[in-house]
Amino acid sequence: MRLSLTTLKQSSSSKQWLSRQSRDPYVNAASGASSGPIFRARSAHKLVSLSARYPSLLRPGNLVVDLGAAPGGWSQVSAQKLRGKGMVWAVDLLGMESVRGVEVIRGDFLCPTVQEDLRLRIAAYRGSGRTEGGKLGPADGEEHSGLRDTNNDADALAVDTVLSDMMAPMSGVRLRDVQASLDLVMAATTFANKVLRPAAPGEEAVGMGKAKVYPGGNLVMKYFAHPDLDAFRREELVPRFAKVAVEKPKESRAESSEAYWVCLGFKGGA
């Protein structure tokens, strides 16, 4: 029997899914069915929420890396927050339509050559002198490929924020899915340790509460709740950041086990 939309609508589970989608304000916003901002993906509203709670995550003049970027919702939010100053690099194995002010690198982030390409682009951008007050980069948000020959020392990197909404395909096998999530957060953390701007000796935080700005770069990562992931937070994140918060934005579905680590104030150390 060949399935059609009509056939799917007849099943109870499909009816429930369609009903949930039609009532979801963030799905409607992404599709343009509401009066709010139009983003490419429902997930963009999660970053909107996180950046509102932690204003220091995305600020004009920042250098931002968006891992697992397709279809581009988080890159859209980042570019809007930067307001024409700074730069966003978006990395994904899948292609994505251009976003003004975003440089797209298509490739598997887990591949060392893709990570090296990204590091070289960051170094080249900083070396160009456009990090303060310059335009966001390619006017058409064009996709690029290939390495640039440039100096790749630690001082040439100094990224302000690394974002990772990466998620491995779900298998339905709990243990396998948890391991896949752990692999991704480990890869994102290892990369962030190499490129984030560390706090300078003696540099202190400014402000109070969630608006507090910590010296050093920031890291935001999706993960799925499990004791092994909690151990990773304690052993790998807490020692390297001034603050590590666990957040489940209101835009996340209640039944989902996903949450986000918001890591502020990178102290340094690989």
The model's pLDDT over 2-15, given as tens digits with 9 standing for 90+, comes to 444 444 344 544 34
| H/E run at residue 18 | helix 12-23
Q: Quick one: pLDDT at residue 129?
A: 66
Dihedral sign (CA 73, 178, 194, 146): negative
Give residues with Cβ within 8 angstroms of 163, minimum separation 6.
Answer: 47, 64, 65, 66, 67, 74, 78, 220
Q: Quick one: pLDDT at residue 23?
A: 45
Q: Quick one: pLDDT at residue 155?
A: 57
**Residue 61: pLDDT over 80:** yes
Q: How far apart are the first and last CA of the chain?
A: 55
pTM: 0.80
Check if the beta carbon of residue 251 is closer than 8 Å to that of residue 49.
Answer: yes
**Residue 126: pLDDT over 60:** yes
- What does the pLDDT look like over 153-194, one tens digit per residue? 555 679 999 999 998 888 888 889 889 999 999 999 999 999
Q: Which CATH architecture has domain 41-266?
A: 3-Layer(aba) Sandwich (3.40)
Span(s) in the chain for CATH 3.40.50.150: 41-266
Check if the beta carbon of residue 58 is closer than 8 Å to that of residue 51.
Answer: yes
- What does the pLDDT look like over 20-32, one tens digit per residue? 433 444 444 444 4
Residue 270 CA to residue 194 CA, distance in Å, equals 6
Q: Quick one: pLDDT at residue 134?
A: 44
Q: Which residues are catalytic?
A: 212
Confidence bin at 147 (pLDDT 50/70/90): very low
Q: Quick one: pLDDT at residue 249?
A: 83
